[in-house]
Structure 1
């Protein structure tokens, strides 16, 4: 297989993994990327493809090393900068990421750069500016594929979800769903909104098909929570155990990518604050972002509550 074809296949596998919530696709993409670099170790396209797979699995230091090598071996500066900005943003280095994205916008203000700016501003909590940029990015889209717009709608929904505006979040997730009906992250987040709106039956209806199609335990965990809210305790426990087992596998294989999700699971439906604290601390060691610190603080508070309850129960 030619390098360009191999890189294209890797990118498509990463996209399918994201859209359908398939960890197996991410893993297959990473495997193919390793093979591609083995065959063409000084090809910028191969190195760039591997950098993307490593970033997807949150192996950020290795991704940055690959991006540097890709730049030295012919990869376009703008492409390398865009991928480096993604990594910096994931690590919470917002100022550095912003500088790279603005540099790209100075070259060409298009859907990709405007969308990247919108997502970054949303991450920084600059909601008004992010909302403006989301709209501007949408107006600049000239493609025919529904995936980029669905991803933009989803990220806009995540912003409003974090802000606590459930109606706006729901509207954005529904927009993403209309563009790509099987878009797993949008459906999963929509189910979270339905749970927060006290409609667990709607959440179950959204989540059950996801648990059949996706191997990401997040959906099994959310389904367990929704079933519990419906008083279907036995079935909820079955899905909780399934999610717990899968998180155990993924934390061993890809700790950088799944420690935070696993910690959240154990702090909620998993009901094991001690394990949640261990994973939150592990995640904080990987990246010192505001979200990682917030997760750790949640875990500490949860563990403190458990300790206080034990003391109260032991008291005469």
Structure 2
């Protein structure tokens, strides 16, 4: 089954390159203003909570777009400081919930949402964040109920996009395609980021379905919107590997290993280099990815145990470590993907045991 290609020419948005430059400038400007406020009285610091929350959201956005784990960590640290100075501020609690959810600390994020609700935070915003957490935990029916309620109140780009992604996660491809198209038709902004993210998630759906050309079309659409969109470029490299174009994958991945501190791209580069016969260089990138995964699993196990398990079951070539991390990931969330990863790890470990002398 071949998916429909996104219409990359409409709607018209700001240049992705300029938008990324503006994002950097926004983050730097807010950081400077907050650092000045931090030297003032506690009351002044509390009054800066909205700016701090805005900075947290921008850091998380840049972290996703450019593959920067450091941005996620910086956002998490700032969120902790905001709640420390304004422990009953709904805006601060909501910002910390988003940041914790980004690092897959879902139980803590849910607790923050409850506290934000008691502090008078907007119910619609809280439900949107709860839906994200429920979806990540595999509670699709509960997430669907929350998003559909929001859609009944207002059929906006955001709610329709959330429904599309949820249906894609559930494997309801036909309905997801309809919703992806409907969401695009509701977009009224000028930023390229929301549309690029929508195209990327559409690509992930087709990637999982095994439709390489449909996935490629969506990833290219996201790349067209935001040329430096690291996850889209990384997934395009994966498709090149699947298609037997390892040299092209190498060219796509090299710049990502310089701009991103996420070890996923170093791991994929190691795989691509090994495929083209550059074994020594592949070994160097494999070791770099292994060290970084060990570091991230230690600091953020909920967010990186699954990615690290996938690494060790693949180019990392340590099925025992892969099984250990897959089991750890399964303890965090009992989703279909977590179970599939665990089963894959068990089978890999069994194959190693059967071939051992």
TM band (smaller chain): over 0.9
2:191 alignment counterpart:
145
- 1:65-144 to structure 2, matched below 5 A, reads 65-144=111-190
Aligned to 1:309: 355
The equivalent of 1:164 in structure 2 is 210
Q: Could you tell me how far apart the structure 2 residues matched to 1:138 and 1:207 are?
A: 29
Post-superposition shift, 1:132? 0.5
Rounded Cα–Cα distance in structure 2 between residues aligned with 1:139 and 1:197 = 32
Partner of 1:4: 50
What is the aligned partner in structure 2 of residue 62 from structure 1?
108
Structure 1, unaligned runs of 5 or more:
none
Structure 2 match to 1:184: 230
CA distance in structure 2 between the partners assigned to 1:121 and 1:25 by the alignment: 29
Output aligned runs, 1:6-85, within 5 Å: 6-85=52-131
Alignment match, 1:284 = 330
CA shift digits 1:98-147 (9 cap, x unpaired): 00000000110010000000000000000000000000000100000000
Say whether 1:263 aligns with 2:319.
Answer: no
Residues of 1 paired with 2:312 and 2:161: CA distance? 33
Distance 1:56 1:24 in 2: 12
Per-residue CA deviations over 1:16-66 (Å, capped at 9, x if unaligned) read 000000000000000000000001111100000000000000000000000
Partner Cα distance (1:174, 1:201) in 2: 18
State yes or no: 1:223 paired with 2:269.
yes
| RMSD over equivalenced CA pairs, Å | 0.5
CA shift, 1:74, in A, is 1.6
For residues 135 and 197 of structure 1, the distance between their equivalents in structure 2, rounded to whole angstroms, comes to 27
CA shift digits 1:264-298 (9 cap, x unpaired): 00000001000000000000000000000000000
Match of 1:233 in 2: 279
User: Hey, what does 2:341 align to over in structure 1?
Assistant: 295
Q: What is the CA deviation profile of residues 83-105 of structure 1, one whole-angstrom value per residue up to 9, with x for unaligned ones?
A: 00000000000000000000000
Which one scores higher on RCO, CA 8 angstroms, separation ≥ 6?
Answer: 2
Shift of 1:72: 1.0
TM-score normalised over the length of structure 1: 0.98
List, as ranges, runs of 4+ consecutive aligned residues in structure 1 with deviation greater than 2 Å: none
TM-score where L is the length of structure 2: 0.87
SS in 2 for 1:32: helix
Shift of 1:226: 0.5
1:243 aligns with 2:289: yes
- The equivalent of 2:27 in structure 1 is none
Give the structure 1 partner of residue 244 of structure 2: 198
For structure 2, the 5+ residue unaligned runs are 1-33, 35-47
